Amino acid sequence: MPVADAPPQQELGTFYHTHHAWLVSWLKRRLGCIHHANDLAHDTFLKLIAKPTTLTHIQEPRAFLTTMAHGLMVDQFRKSALEQAYLDAIRHLPVSLAPSPEEHLAILEILLQIDHLFRGLKPNVRNAFLLSRLEGLTYPEIAAQLGVSLRTVETYMAEALRHILTVPRA
C-alpha cells in the first residue's frame, strides 16, 4: 500500500514537472516533429491522470511513460490509417451509395471499435471472422479467398470467437 507524503494532486504536479519536458524531447527525437511530440505527451499525461493507480506504484517512470506514449502513438497511427483507407474506399462510390456526414463519423467509430476489438489476433483470424460476419461468406468461400483449408477456417473462427468472449473491455 503506497504511502503518499503529499496529497495526490501535488504528486501528479511533481511527476509532470519532473518528466514532461523529458518525454516531449524523447518523442521529438523519435517522431521528428515538435507538434506531434507535444500532442502525444499531452495525451499520455491525460491517460495517466485517468488511471486509478497512483503514481508511487510506478517503479520506472520514464519507461512507463514511453511505453504508454508508444501505445497511444500506435493507436493514432492506426486511426489515421483507417481514416485514410476510409476516404479511399468511399472515393469511388457512386453518389447514391456515398455515406452522409453523420454516417461518416458513425462508420469511423465502428471501424475503430472493430480494430480495437481484434487487436492482437493474427490478421487472417480477424479477416476470416469479418468475411463471415460482414460479407456473409460460407467457410468454403472463406477458405478459397484466404487460400487455406476448411479446417483452418474453422480454427480461425473458433479463435476469433474465443477472443471476443474473453478479451477484457478497455
Partner 1 sequence: MSTLNARPMTEPSHIPPDIMDELITWSVKLNSGTASNADQQRFQQWRDIDPRHESAWQTLHAMEQDFMAMPAHTKQLVANTIALADAQTRTTMQRRPKLKALAICAVTLLGSALLIHQVAPWQAPVHYATHMGQRAAFTLADGTQLTLNTNSSVDVRYSLLKREIVLNHGEIYLITGHDTDAWFGRRRFWVDTAQAKFEAIGTRFSVYQHANTTQLHVAEGIVAIHVAQQPAVRAYANDTYRMQGGAAAPLKTQTQHADPMAWVDGVIIAKQMRLESLMSELARYQALPVSYEDDTGDLAVSGVFQLNRDDPAEHALQTLSHTLPIRINRQHAQLLIRKK
Asked if 12 touches partner 1 (CB under 8 A), the answer is no
Nearest to 170 by CA among 76, 47, 78: 47
Q: What percent helix, strand, coil does the chain show, rounded to 5?
A: 75, 0, 25
Q: Do residues 129 and 160 lie in contact, with contact meaning Cβ atoms separated by under 8 Å? A: yes
Q: In the set 12, 58, 108, 146, which binds partner 1 (CB under 8 A)?
A: 108
Question: Using CB under 8 A, which of the segments 8-16, 44-52, 54-62, 157-165 binds partner 1?
Answer: 157-165
User: Of 57, 63, 80, whose CA–CA distance to 26 is shortest?
Assistant: 63
Size of the site for partner 1 (CB under 8 A): 60
155 — alpha (psi -120 to 50), left (phi > 0) or beta? alpha
Query: Cα(52)–Cα(160) distance, rounded to whole angstroms?
Result: 30
* Binding residues for partner 1 restricted to 132-151, rule: CB under 8 A: 132-135, 137-141
In the DSSP assignment, the letter for residue 55 is: G
In this complex, which beta carbon is closest to partner 1, that of residue 63 or of residue 93?
A: 93
| Interface of this chain with partner 1, residues 36 to 55, rule: CB under 8 A | 36, 39
Which string of x and - marks every residue 63-102 that binds partner 1 (by CB under 8 A)?
A: ----------x--xxxxxxxxxxxxxxx--x---x-x-x-
Secondary structure letter of residue 120 according to DSSP = T
Distance CA 126, CA 164 (A): 11
Does residue number 161 form part of the binding site for partner 1 (CB under 8 A)?
yes
Provide, rounded to whole angstroms, the least separation between the CB of residue 30 and partner 1.
6
User: Which residues contact partner 1 by CB under 8 A?
Assistant: 30-33, 35-36, 39, 73, 76-90, 93, 97, 99, 101, 103-105, 107-108, 110-111, 113-115, 117, 123, 127, 130-135, 137-141, 154, 157-158, 161-162, 164-166, 168
